[in-house]
Amino acid sequence: MDDRRRLKETVAGARIELRRLGTAPDLGSLAAGAEGDVVWLDSSLPEGAPAAAHERARWSVLAWTDGPFSVRFRHEARRAFLDVPPASWSWFGASRVDDRPAFDVLSDLLDGTPVLSEPVPGCGFALGWVGFLGYELGRESGGADRTADGHADADLRFADRAVLVEEGGDAWALALVADAEPAASAANRAWLETVTASTAQADVDDAPPRLPDGSEATGRVTRAAYESAVDACRAEIREGNAFQVCLTTAFAVREARVDPGTDPHLTEYLRLRAVDPVPFGAYLRLGPLRVASRSPERFLRIEATGAVSAEPIKGTRRRAEDPVEDEAVRAELAASVKDRAENVMIVDLLRNDLLRTALPGSVHVDRLCDVETYASVHQMVSTIGAVLPAGASRAAVVRAAFPPGSMTGAPKISAMAIADRLEDAPRGVYSGAIGYFSASGAADLSVAIRTLVTVLDEDGSVRSRTFGAGGAVTWSSVAADEADEVETKTRSVLAGLGAVARW
């Protein structure tokens, strides 16, 4: 398979042309100025972040999706819709509708993607597929047979134009060219010259897209109903049907004040990132979707060499304003028997998920139950690693571990069935994954938590705005405490909008 792909690359003459930018541009300003859809994978860290977190936050990527080679892969209503421009027909075929499962179609698309060397040392992104995989794709690996409500289950774009920014300020513009497509290549070379290195930043201090302080985000269920569902999870655990169930809910969020002629949802995101630095932030403008994610959690990272790692988070505490009290909160989390049990269960689950596609004997745990501190919370994080066999399908690796185990519970299939029955609603983008599948063979995906999802109607009006939150339920869970944890997780995003959760 690899030889065939490399032959295809050679015949097409596909390669990346690179332009180093003198100063790092402000990606928020570039995203605001883009006419079409964009995917911004946005990394940052708060002051004093642990050293281990810097690797995760080293690179930010802004990908344009309207270039001459750009392809759209959308999986909706259990069908794949592929929009392919003529310049990319030799790699991906013509536009079509495909009735196969999403991960089967994705596997073929990745197999057809020209192999491109990573142009910037240390960064796995060499152009490629960017976007999201929604939680309901879990139906392809044993989950409930649901689809997302009001939007696609997956939307990935083959991006042929991007800007990379490294922590510390270095930046590069990337564009795809191919000898067989001179007109498309000329358009991308011209685009390279238009990328500005201006450091002017979008001003969000007085930006209008913000909810009136004290606005309520209304729960899909009442707090009492959620606590009752926690007790139902505990009953399932008592009967031996699960060890842990990730139970979630959602809150409906009011639309912000809109300034005509702007992207109000991007402005909201800029406000959120200013107060809550995280290594896996993301802003997606994809058709009718606007996704603002402030995730601290990596789902899977696959290097071009075949090394793979997962970094699940289980265990969260809200930070205290007083430094002494804050350190006590951190210490309490580190010593919590319940939280360690939650974390270890998911570590075991992910070891099993990775073993399904990794080389036997290569799965290992690099760290267990470390506590990391972010702007609004302390979190317990573990790292699991493995090595893939040569030529392993990246789509198969992701499907074997999907949905992210930290958002399902254990055992995965049983826990997903329990959660689906109790939640009785799709999760959509929330609990899925956001990130990229690089043309180099690398991939990096975050867990879509702390994520605000807006769906627009054709006229641009807002159809829905939702924010999902939840937590792991074990036998030792206390229903009121689990509800408190949900409220804590809403604050990192809703507080930045001037809203509070009410249920």
User: What pLDDT digit, counting tens, does each position of 351-385 carry?
Assistant: 999 999 999 999 999 999 999 988 778 999 999 99
Residue 108 pLDDT > 90, yes or no?
A: yes
Active-site annotation holder among 9, 118, 136, 314: 314
Query: What are the residues whose beta carbons fall under 8 Å from the beta carbon of 152, sequence distance 6 or more?
Result: 74, 75, 76, 134, 287, 289
Give pLDDT, residue 8: 45
pLDDT beyond 50 at 5: no
**What percentage of the chain reaches a pLDDT higher than 70?**
92
pLDDT per residue as tens digits for the range 469-494:
999 999 999 999 999 999 989 988 99
What pLDDT, on a 0 to 100 scale, did the predictor assign at position 197?
61
pLDDT score, position 492: 82
Q: What is the pLDDT of residue 276?
A: 86
Residue 19 DSSP class: E
Kindly indicate the confidence band of residue 22, based on its pLDDT and cuts at 50, 70 and 90: confident
Residue 468 has pLDDT above 90, yes or no: yes
Are 83 and 70 in contact by the 8 Å Cβ rule? The answer is no
pLDDT score of 460? 85
Alpha helix stretches (DSSP H) within 366-462? 394-401, 412-423
Can you tell me the distance from the alpha carbon of 194 to that of 27, in angstroms, rounded to the nearest whole number? 14
* 385-399 tens-digit pLDDT: 999 999 999 999 999
Terminal alpha carbon distance of the chain: 53
Looking at every residue in the chain, the average pLDDT score rounds to 92
Residue 11 has pLDDT above 50, yes or no: no
pLDDT confidence band for 263 (50 / 70 / 90): confident
**For 26-59, what is each residue's pLDDT tens digit?**
999 999 999 899 999 999 987 777 777 788 889 9
pLDDT tens per residue across span 408-430: 999 999 999 999 999 999 999 99
Structure confidence at residue 53 (pLDDT): 75
Q: Is 35 a catalytic residue?
A: no
Which of 11-20, 230-239, 366-375 has the least mean pLDDT?
11-20
- Amino acid at site 24: A
The CA distance from 266 to 275, in Å, is 15
Phi, psi of 114 (to 5 degrees): -60, 135
Give the containing element (helix H, strand E) for 189.
helix 182-194
Q: Quick check: 69 pLDDT over 50?
A: yes
pLDDT of 214 strictly over 60? yes
Q: Would you state the pLDDT for residue 259?
A: 55
Q: Which pLDDT belongs to residue 3?
A: 46
Please check the confidence at residue 208 and state whether its pLDDT lies above 90.
no
Over 60: is that where the pLDDT of 146 sits?
yes
Tell me what pLDDT residue 283 has.
98
Please tell me whether the peptide bond between 411 and the residue prior to it is cis, using omega within 30 degrees of 0: yes
Q: Model pTM? A: 0.94
Q: What would the pLDDT profile of 76-102 be if each residue is shown by its tens digit?
A: 999 999 999 999 999 999 999 999 999
With CA atoms as reference, report the closest residue to 233 among 225, 245, 220. 245
pLDDT band at residue 112, thresholds of 50, 70 and 90? Answer: very high
pLDDT > 50? residue 216: yes
Least confident of 101-105, 109-113, 257-261, 265-269: 257-261
Q: What is the pLDDT of residue 212?
A: 60
SS (H, E, C) 229-280: HHHHHHHHHHCCCCCEEEEEEEEECCCCCCCCCCCHHHHHHHHHHHHCCCCE
Annotation marks residue 314 as catalytic: yes
Q: Write down the catalytic residue from 181, 297, 303, 372.
A: 297
- Domains of the chain are 2-195+211-502 (3.60.120.10)
Residue 182, both tokens: 């001179």
Please compute Rg for the chain using Cα positions: 22
* DSSP-assigned beta bridge partners for residue 384: 310, 365
**Residue 348, token pair as written in the block:** 């075991």
- pLDDT digits over 283-326, tens only? 999 999 999 999 999 999 999 999 999 999 998 888 999 999 99
